[in-house]
Amino acid sequence: MTRTTTAPGPSPLVRWTREHRLLAFFGLTFVLSWWSWPLWAFDLAPTAHWPCGPLLAALVVVGVTEGRAGYRELGARLLRWRVGWGWWLVAVGTPLAVLALAAAANVTIWDASSTGLAGIAWGGVALTAALRFVDPLDGPFGEEPGWRGYALPWLQARRSPLAAAAVLGPVVALWHLPLVVTGRLAPFGLVVTAFITVVYVWLFDRTGGSVLLTLTFHVAQGTVPSAALGFAGADAARMDWLTGTLWIVLAVALVALDRRAWGPAPAAAVASAADGPVRA
């Protein structure tokens, strides 16, 4: 008589992760990003916040829950560039337009001092932008594959785009908390982060789930700081308020004016649920 053996099933941890992949992703993101915060408080670590947390968490959770198929799906989103040239203009031009409008208001209404475009070292800006596309220790590449490449498609598997943004926005805002504590981000920046998530969701869905476009948007958003335009002191602080307010206004306008964008998410922007149901 031959004895047949049954291959062991997945461990309880793997089963839990597959059933609660979003909780696993969010929890691991915070652990990998915040682990040095207590050490930083005692001058034992160089930073309290690691921007690569979302990227690393996505890679780990995808490996546990979906394997190669999940990596192919994530990679396809990162390389999705055929979205129409108009959307490339939106991704690059919108952050620059917000910055330009805020700068113009700062100068004309509050008489702020600025060197304008003449003060910008364009070679340095181009190099910084190129590095931000590939540096996992900077915000764009450290965040976008996780927040938009992994979490958002799974959130939209069970929620509308607006509901997904309402979940993701506060999480991303809270994730930035160490930057507020260490003085690298004003508290108002957390509110802006929650609202600007609506803009990211809109761009992601309108481009058929392209993380490359949200990555480009993120790079353009922060590559030219207020200091490059010559603002300093109170004028620079006012720029943060002006740009933040404009982002909030834009997010509200997109919800109000582009109603079709907030219906069911396009299939290309929703994760495949072939591996079973996903719980929050």
Which of 15-24, 121-130, 222-231, 266-275 tops mean pLDDT?
A: 15-24
Euclidean distance between CA atoms 22 and 114, whole angstroms = 44
* Residue-wise burial string across 187-209, b where 16 or more C-beta atoms lie within 10 A, e elsewhere: eebbbbbbbbbbbbbbbbbbbbb
Q: Per-residue confidence at 4, pLDDT binned at 50, 70, 90?
A: low
Q: Exposed, middle or buried: residue 40 (CB in 10 Å: 0-12, 13-18, 19+)?
A: middle
What domain range includes position 177? Answer: 84-269
* Domain presence at residue 114: yes
Q: Calculate the average pLDDT of the chain.
A: 92
* Domain presence at residue 13: no
Euclidean distance between CA atoms 191 and 251, whole angstroms = 12
Q: How many domains does the chain have?
A: 1
Of 3-7, 69-73, 80-84, 129-133, the poorest mean pLDDT is in: 3-7
* Domain presence at residue 236: yes
Q: In this model, does residue 10 exceed pLDDT 90?
A: no
* Domain presence at residue 105: yes
- Within 13 A of 184's CA, how many CA atoms are on the CB side? 8
> Could you read off the pLDDT of 73-104 as tens digits, one per residue?
999 999 999 999 999 999 999 999 999 999 99
Q: In this model, does residue 247 exceed pLDDT 60?
A: yes
> Could you read off the pLDDT of 191-235 as tens digits, one per residue?
999 999 999 999 999 999 999 999 999 999 988 888 788 899 999
Q: In this model, does residue 2 exceed pLDDT 60?
A: no
Instruction: List Cα–Cα distances, 47 to 34, 118, 144, in angstroms.
Output: 9, 33, 21
Cβ count within 10 A of residue 104 = 13
* Domain presence at residue 74: no
Cβ count within 10 A of residue 132 = 20
What residue type is 270 in one-letter code? V
- Within 13 A of 130's CA, how many CA atoms are on the CB side? 6
What single string gives the DSSP state of each residue in the chain? -PPP-PPP---HHHHHHHHSHHHHHHHHHHHHHHTTHHHHHTT-SS-S--TTHHHHHHHHHHHHHTTHHHHHHHHHHHT---S-HHHHHHHHHHHHHHHHHHHHHHHHTT-----GGGG--HHHHHHHHHHHTT-TTSHHHHHHHHIIIIIHHHHTTTS-HHHHHHHHHHHHHHHTHHHHHTTSS-THHHHHHHHHHHHHHHHHHHTTS-HHHHHHHHHHHHSS-GGGGT--THHHHHHHHHHHHHHHHHHHHHHHH-GGGGSSPPGGGS---TT-----
Among residues 110, 79, 93, 206, the alpha carbon closest in space to that of 152 is found at 206
* Domain presence at residue 215: yes
* Domain presence at residue 198: yes
* Domain presence at residue 75: no
